Amino acid sequence: MKIYLDNTASTPLLNEVIDCMNDTMLNLFANPSSIHFHGRNSKVAIETARKSIAKYLNCTPSEIFFTSGGTEANNMALYGCVYDLGVKHVITSPIEHHAVLETLENFVHRGLIEIHFVKINEKGQIDYDSLENLLKTYPASLVSLMHANNEISNLLSINKVSRICRKYDAIFHSDTVQTICHYKIDLQKTDVDFVSCSAHKFHGPKGIGFIYINKNRVKISPLLFGGGQERGMRGGTENIYGVVGMAKAFEIAHQNMDLDMRKILSLKSYMIENLNKTFVGIEYLGDSATDGLYTVLSVLFPENVFDDMLLMRLDIEGVSASSGSACTSGALKGSHVMKHLKIPENRQTVRFSFSKFNTIEEIDFCIEVLKKIKNS
Ligand code: PLP
């Protein structure tokens, strides 16, 4: 048996998405910028997808710009703020995704900005008073804080942060890669300037996503020039089947959201119950066992039960999970998030993350595998 519990890293494609992409590949091969019949059909598919996505987010289609995914969307927001909106101070947290942190560090190395980190507590929760204090000192900064942390699940109160940002005239970008299509997000009620999205986190294809840019508040220039696609905001022939596949995955996620959420939450509760029975002294990181992002369970095993080969052993036994560590060029590099949480070296962490395709039988299998490794 092989089971997949790494859905925060990526999710399996839905059959409906594959069918719709296949159909697009077969029939909509023309360049959407061509003005003939075939080209116009490709263009219509892209604009229909944009409209559909905008409807679910309650924004206008002209606020959605397709990108190659979450990394590009985050880069586009940050570059736009620094190069076009004159941002000199950025307030963020030390546990953001690398697509935000490394982009900002690059700006620091170029002497363009200063970064100010909000305080986080031992559970990785954001200290909102610290955000407000930083904004008192650096008003009109950029605030970049993720909606849900992909390693420890903590959810940000977006509305609270946006109220604080508005009070100090700050720009607000939120990396919503782990939450779009997992929660209903109404952009008329959520006062943000930029959000980022990646389709492969909700059973859509890889290499496609978008940035939402609040047209009433901010105007930035493209990251990629040439061609005039995306109303001049992103040069390059569009990834039509990616866009169409993402819109399909978007639609299905929204239609089934409550049901999927309940199913995933019950799998997670079942896993917690069984882990608690099996490992005395087990703990859970961040808010992952309480009210964090429901797809993630970040486990901190008791001292000396497992060694640092745990993930590899899980893999050998048929369980694909993640340690919250980034695997760079074959070398395991400790996760910056775990470093900030000061996890002791003799305790192993594993991030199990679920989708609607997981089953109770798979959770039972995973628990049996953990018992086997523990006793070996
Ligand atoms: N932001 C977060 C929170 C993520 O989890 C990821 C993916 O791991 C990204 C950004 C990057 O998205 P993509 O893989 O589409 O570039």
- Residue from 81, 181, 327, 366 carrying the catalytic annotation: 327
Ligand 1: residue of 6, 11, 178 to mutate (most ligand atoms within 8 A of CB) is: 178
Ligand 1 atom at minimum distance from 71 CA:
16
Contact (Cβ atoms closer than 8 angstroms) between residue 119 and residue 340: no
Question: From the CA of 70, how far away is ligand 1's center (Å)?
Answer: 5
Alpha carbons 227 and 234: distance in angstroms, whole number: 8
Query: In this structure, what token pair is assigned to residue 14?
Result: 């839905």
Question: pTM for the whole thing?
Answer: 0.96
Centroid of ligand 1 to alpha carbon of 39 (angstroms): 31
Residue nearest to atom 13 of ligand 1 (CA): 70
pLDDT at residue 169, rounded to an integer: 97
Number of Cβ atoms within 10 Å of the Cβ of 105: 13
Q: Which residues line ligand 1 (CB under 6 A)?
A: 69-71, 74, 97, 99, 146, 150, 175, 177-178, 198, 209
pLDDT score of 343: 87
Specify whether 81 is catalytic: no
Question: Considering only CA atoms, which residue is closest to atom 14 of ligand 1?
Answer: 70
What spacing in Å lies between the alpha carbon of 177 and ligand 1's midpoint? 6
Could you tell me the mean pLDDT of each successive run of 10 residues in the chain, 376 residues long?
A: 97 98 98 97 98 98 98 98 98 98 98 98 96 97 98 97 98 98 97 98 98 97 95 97 98 98 98 98 97 98 94 97 60 76 89 98 98 96
> 155: which DSSP letter?
B
Question: What counts of helices (H) and strands (E) characterise the chain?
Answer: 11, 14
From the CA of 327, how far away is ligand 1's center (Å)? 15
Question: If you write DSSP's letter for every residue of 316-361 in order, what string do you get?
Answer: HTTEE-B-S-EEETTEEE--HHHHHHT--TTS-EEEEE--TT--HH
* Residue 321 burial class via C-beta count within 10 angstroms: exposed 0-12, middle 13-18, buried 19 and up: buried
152 Cα: distance to centroid of ligand 1 (angstroms): 14
Index of the ligand 1 atom closest to the CA of residue 149: 3
Q: What is the pLDDT of residue 342?
A: 87
The pair of three-digit structure tokens given for residue 367, joined into one six-digit string: 């628990």
pLDDT of residue 332: 52
Sign of the torsion formed by the C-alpha atoms of 42, 21, 14 and 312: negative
Residue in 101, 102, 103, 150 to alter for ligand 1 test, most ligand atoms within 8 A of Cβ: 150
Domains of the chain: 3-12+257-375 (3.90.1150.10), 15-255 (3.40.640.10)
Name the residue of 7, 68, 71, 195 to mutate for ligand 1: max ligand atoms within 8 A of Cβ. Answer: 71
* Interval between CA 277 and ligand 1 midpoint (Å): 33
Locate the ligand 1 atom nearest the alpha carbon of residue 8 and give its number.
5
Chain centre distance of CA 61? 21
pLDDT tens-digit series, residues 241-289 = 999 999 999 999 999 999 999 999 999 999 999 999 999 999 999 999 9
Closest approach atom of ligand 1 to CA 200: 15
CB atoms under 10 Å from CB of 304, counted, come to 9
